[in-house]
Amino acid sequence: MIFPEKYQLIRKLARDFAEKELTSEILDEVEDTKVFPKDILKKMAQAGFFGIKVPRKYGGQGSDHLAYVVTVEEIARVSAVGSLYVNSPNSLGGMSILVAGTEEQKMRYLKPMVEGDIVIPFGLTEPGGGSDAGDIRTTAVKDGDYYILNGRKTFITMAPFADYSIIYAKIGKGPGKEGVTAFIVDMTLPGVSVGKEEEKMGLIGCATSDVILEDVRVHKDNILGEIGSGFKDAMRCLDVGRLGVAAQAAGVAQACLDEAVKYAKERKQFGKFLYEHQSIAFMIADMATKLKAAKELVYDAALTKDHGGNTTMASAIAKYYASEICNELAAKSLQIHGGYGFVRGFKIERLYRDSRVFTIYEGTSQIQQIVISRQLFGK
């Protein structure tokens, strides 16, 4: 895709920021401490990365989805975990409020979120649900002007340091997704707690844990959207979330290709550089071709969203293909590195671990296949 100058400048801004701020020394420290530097997060906010698509009236940049994926891609190319901090407020957290929030809720929560002052994760997944996102067991029982929430959310990114959380709970005993409603829950309310921080394979430096709700009283003013519209609204948010994951996958895949090319030009075997061996050269050529196709699908999905097209189909295709290709490129790049790719100290080792989650979170590859096939058959 040939980008207009505006998007070339956005790409340059994100790339320059990532290369300057997210140095290998800092990223190694993040791996050791499991903590992402707060000063870099503040700089991300000041650069406008947390509110790329948020309208200017709420403190954002007022840009579009193509600008969003370009930014996420470039941050992910240097740091997958860094891109997670950029993606979250622009996708599930921020989108939940943009999609269903009242004007008062948008004014109250979006501006401090894009300025980096508050963190708002997305609490949909439950221990017994996983891919079955509609199996909501968390309950909300009306008590005057309040609702009493009980339940448990799992794998909630940023929960351990969140200020608020979007929590999906079921009102009433209707079948299936009936009655599912979103609430903005203050994480300091009595009865709210978080579980043990998960020990993850990758994306180290962005804590993930359960959110536990025990008789939590939430005022009716903190209902997000209409009662019973929660699941529908969540799926609209996931369309954008999957687009963000696709952009992350494209960025990490680009980094995997970069590392393969770099190593093949430095390493000699049997008296020749690796790239002079046809088997390696052809492997890298195949990687570059598939990455190009993945990126075009990501950009197409972003443009589809910007022009009001079928984002459900486009985002699922982009997320499915880009995440699978990212894992393939990570594996091939590590193979090219040989034994060195298996030890810490080479960037590909971290890229390989970080890439694995892209085919899992915000809908597994198999869920994307279900979404795509249902769209094709009109179900």
Catalytic residues: 362
8 A C-beta contact, residue 208 and residue 121: no
DSSP string, 341-358: GGSTTSHHHHHHHHHGGG
What end-to-end distance do the CA atoms of the chain give, in Å? 32
Neighbours of 309 (CB within 10 A): 13
The residue type found at 21 is: E
Residue by residue, DSSP assigns 301-362 as: HHHHHHTT--HHHHHHHHHHHHHHHHHHHHHHHHHHHGGGGGSTTSHHHHHHHHHGGGGTTT
Could you give phi then psi for residue 345, rounded to 5 degrees?
120, -25
Contact 340, 352 (CB under 8 A): no
- Nearest CA to 301 among 379, 378, 371? 371
CA dist 58 → 68, 88, 156, 223 (Å): 17, 17, 25, 20
Angstrom distances, CA of residue 23 to CA of 16, 78, 146, 200: 11, 8, 48, 22
Structure tokens at 147: 């609702």
d(CA 60, CA 316): 26
Cα-based torsion angle of the residue sequence 125, 243, 196, 348 in order, rounded to the nearest 10 degrees? 140
DSSP 132: -
Cβ–Cβ contacts within 10 Å for residue 46, how many?
Answer: 11
